[in-house]
Amino acid sequence: MKILIVEDDKTIAGLIAEALKQQQYTVEIAHDAQSALNYLEAAAIDLLILDLGLPKVDGITLCKTIRQNNYNLPILILTARDTSLDKVIGLDAGADDYVVKPFDLAELLARVRALLRRVQTTYLPCLSWEKLTLFPDTAEVRYNGQLLHLTPKEYAILTVLLRNGSRVLSRAQILDQAWSFDEIAGEETVKVHLRSLRHKLKAAGAPPNLIETVHGLGYRLNPNVKSAR
């Protein structure tokens, strides 16, 4: 899952981003409204954490613009504005939740999970292929019931593959979906993480070709080993 933080305070943005990354989320950071809109146009964002005190264009205006442009992702406002009227204005602008600064980090993460659960109710509660199952709500991955201990990037790559099924993805496409824009990584990095991911899957009993290499094109989950469900 990819989360966009729109916050002009770089210290606060970095603190939240690091906490989210530890929970296996992919994170982008924008420091103003226009940068946020650019991110939304360029990539699939699953949730937005929005500060109201942004430079040039304030957060309420940005929230309204996002809704007017028919982006349906959940929006969590994170702001120092703490009056009841401020909350009403934020929620009426299209936000789904409202958290006041200073905030408790554990509570913020819980609210993020709750908002993402609402989104997931319109989809399958888990992602699966053959005996492989990924549970987005708990960030757990199991093969035939056995828990796999994956790094954040292995988890992100596997999520991308499970979301696309037998569709072939190039290394560049995997990079685009599993890495943040500000992370420096080349296509060879994808190959290294895939090698490690395959090793962990094989150790759990998965077929060695569960993640198939389509030579000259990319990677996909092998349709020939998918079990009937």
Pick from 197, 124, 119: which is nearest to 163 by CA?
124
Is it the case that residue 118 has pLDDT exceeding 80? no
Residues 105, 11 share a domain: yes
**Range of 81's domain?**
2-120
Pick from 1, 79, 65: which is nearest to 33 by CA?
65
Residues 133, 189 share a domain: yes
Residues 134, 105 share a domain: no
Residues 44, 140 share a domain: no
Q: Do 75 and 112 meet the contact criterion of CB atoms below 8 Å apart?
A: no
Burial of 3 (0-12, 13-18, 19+ CB in 10 A): buried
* Three-point CA angle 18, 20, 26, nearest 5°: 100
**pLDDT interval class at 10 (50, 70, 90):** very high
Is it the case that residue 186 has pLDDT exceeding 90? no
What integer pLDDT is reported at residue 88 of this predicted model? 93
* Residue where a domain stops, chosen among 51, 86, 120: 120
Residues 97, 77 share a domain: yes
Q: How far apart are CA 180 and CA 133, in angstroms?
A: 24
* Residue where a domain stops, chosen among 94, 120, 146: 120
Q: How far apart are CA 33 and CA 47, in angstroms?
A: 15
Instruction: Please tell me the total count of domains within the chain.
Output: 2
Residues 73, 26 share a domain: yes
Q: How many residues does the chain have?
A: 229
Residues 7, 98 share a domain: yes
What integer pLDDT is reported at residue 142 of this predicted model? 95
CA distances from 50 to 60, 81, 190 (A): 9, 12, 31
What integer pLDDT is reported at residue 24 of this predicted model? 82
Residues 219, 193 share a domain: yes
Q: Do 57 and 30 meet the contact criterion of CB atoms below 8 Å apart?
A: no
* Residue where a domain stops, chosen among 65, 91, 120: 120
Across 101-208, where does the E strand assignment appear?
A: 127-129, 132-135, 140-143, 146-148
Residues 104, 6 share a domain: yes
Lowest mean pLDDT among 29-33, 141-145, 177-181, 219-223: 177-181
Write down the residue that tokens 């093969």 correspond to: 143
Residues 201, 105 share a domain: no
Is it the case that residue 117 has pLDDT exceeding 90? no
The DSSP code sequence of 70-118 is: T--S-EEEEES--SHHHHHHHHHTT-SEEEESS--HHHHHHHHHHHHHH
Query: What's the mean pLDDT in 58-63?
Result: 96
Query: Residue 62 maps to which CATH number?
Result: 3.40.50.2300
Residues 112, 138 share a domain: no
Q: How far apart are CA 99 and CA 81, in angstroms?
A: 9
Query: Residue 148 maps to which CATH number?
Result: 1.10.10.10
Residue 124 contacts by C-beta under 8 Å, 6 or more apart in sequence?
none
Q: How far apart are CA 14 and CA 9, in angstroms?
A: 9
Q: Is 143 helix (H, G, I), strand (E, B) or coil?
A: strand
Residues 105, 15 share a domain: yes
